[in-house]
Amino acid sequence: MKKIILALLIMSSILSGDVFDKGNTSVGIVAGSKYSHGESYTIVGVGVDYFLVNGVSVGIGYRGWFGGNPDMNQLTITSSYYIPLSQKFRPYIGGFIRETFVDYDKIDDKNYESYGGRAGLAIAMSPNSYMSFGYVYEEYGECIFNDCSSSYPELVFSLAF
């Protein structure tokens, strides 16, 4: 994992532009784990955001939940606003809608929708990369496994070009 982060930092230093400027595209990676509904999952994902105007992005992302039963795949549409308080540190707020595809070993598959908000702090690491640390609140369209909502921390590394 350390080698991957080092490679991403090196790649970000050779790109050009300001990370939150209009017209930039950022690609972020997500990796983590979660214990949910009696199962342990490894979560891997990628997201792409496009800055419509300075500090405002819209994007799409994918996350796969692996290692537990059922397997889950998520498609998310996001929008975020990075508040321009300083060049290096940018608080952010955003919203999202998500479709989750659940695979119960090919029996009784179920999809569900959710929506939510997120907030945190993005730290520009170079003119072309940033890390964001934040918190997410997610509300499900219908209660899943007796849960109607969840909240969790997020950590994302993004490269902009």
CATH number of the domain where residue 130 is located: 2.40.160.20
Q: Which has the minimum average pLDDT: 79-83, 125-129, 131-135?
A: 125-129
Taking the C-alpha atoms of residue 39 and residue 16, their distance in angstroms, rounded to an integer, is 43
Instruction: Tell me the per-residue pLDDT of 70-124, one tens digit each, with 9 for 90 and over.
Output: 888 999 999 999 999 988 999 999 999 999 988 776 556 678 899 999 999 999 9
Is residue 153 pLDDT above 80, yes or no?
Answer: yes
Cross-strand pairs, 142: none
Q: How many domains does the chain have?
A: 1
Candidates 32, 108, 103; CA nearest to 71 is 103
pLDDT for 121: 97
On the 0-12 / 13-18 / 19+ scale of CB atoms within 10 A, 66 is exposed
Amino acid at 22: K
The pLDDT score that the predictor gives to residue 6 is: 47
3-class secondary structure, 139:
strand
Of the pLDDT bands very low, low, confident and very high (cuts 50, 70, 90), residue 13 is very low
Distance of alpha carbon 36 from alpha carbon 67, whole angstroms: 11
What residues have CB less than 8 Å from 142, skipping those under 6 apart?
112
Predicted confidence (pLDDT) at residue 138 exceeds the cutoff of 80 = yes
Distance CA 157, CA 9 (A): 10
The better pLDDT of the pair 154, 17 is held by 154
Instruction: Supply 15's token pair.
Output: 């790109």
pLDDT band (50, 70, 90) for residue 14: very low
Range of the domain at 74: 2-160
Predicted pLDDT at 10: 46
pTM: 0.79
